[in-house]
């Protein structure tokens, strides 16, 4: 895992990530390795610098007027996710954190093995294994019903944000409750239940 340096404002670290983090880039999307990967494969997809979405701080700031640019971004993200699935033969989730800790719109592309030394807390676990991670399709659907005021998206994000506070720690495959992260990680390593969809 490549470790990023901490800037004066770590919340802006996505824009400060150097070439060592680069995975792929074009005029629509910039894909980079997550410096604190929460699974064996963990990428971040951001709007390319200067693109229509590059000044959006988080998923909560999206509105209906952004839908065309967002669909183009999601198309590129889907291609990266499909390529990763085929290359490493793993299941992958794609989504935005309902309440991200870092600034600038970014979408996670993460393998469902949830095997990483950086995966340390219940919050880390739940932010990737529950609906706290909102899919690109759900974001688009919510923006389609909004009258460009973000009401539906905002309400949905608030509901999802509560999940990390109210959901018990459990295996994302068999849903067996676990008392703490070390126990959970040992269980997941041996769990034979079907992989997470």
The pair of structure tokens assigned to 70 is 């967002």
Q: Is 74 a catalytic residue?
A: no
Token pair of 124 as six digits = 């880390």
SS percent in the chain: helix, strand, coil, step 5: 40, 15, 45
Closest listed residue to residue 193, CA positions, set 179, 178, 174: 174
Q: What is the DSSP letter of 177?
A: B
SS3 state at 170: strand
Q: What is the DSSP string of 54-111?
A: TT--SGGG--GGGHHHHHHHHHHHHHHHHHHHHHHT--EEEEEESS-SSSS--EEEEE
Catalytic position from the list 106, 124, 172, 187 = 106
The catalytic residues are: 106
């Amino acid at each position: 895992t490549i470790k990023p340096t901490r800037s004066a404002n770590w919340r802006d670290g996505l824009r400060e990530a150097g070439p060592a983090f680069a995975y792929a880039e074009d005029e629509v999307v910039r894909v980079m390795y997550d410096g604190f990967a929460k699974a064996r494969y963990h990428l971040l997809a951001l709007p390319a610098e200067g693109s229509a979405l590059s000044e959006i701080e988080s998923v909560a700031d999206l509105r209906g007027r952004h839908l065309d640019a967002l669909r183009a971004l999601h198309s590129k993200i889907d291609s990266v996710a499909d390529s990763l699935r085929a290359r490493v033969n793993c299941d992958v989730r794609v989504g935005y954190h309902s309440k991200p800790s870092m600034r600038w719109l970014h979408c996670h592309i993460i393998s469902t093995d949830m095997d990483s030394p950086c995966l340390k807390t219940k919050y880390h676990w739940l932010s990737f294994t529950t609906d706290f991670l909102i899919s690109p399709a759900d974001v688009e659907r919510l923006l389609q019903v909004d009258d460009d005021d973000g009401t539906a998206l905002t309400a949905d994000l608030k509901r999802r944000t509560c999940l990390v506070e109210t959901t018990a720690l459990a295996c994302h495959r068999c849903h067996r409750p676990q008392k703490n992260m070390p126990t959970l990680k040992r269980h997941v390593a041996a769990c034979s239940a079907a992989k997470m969809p």
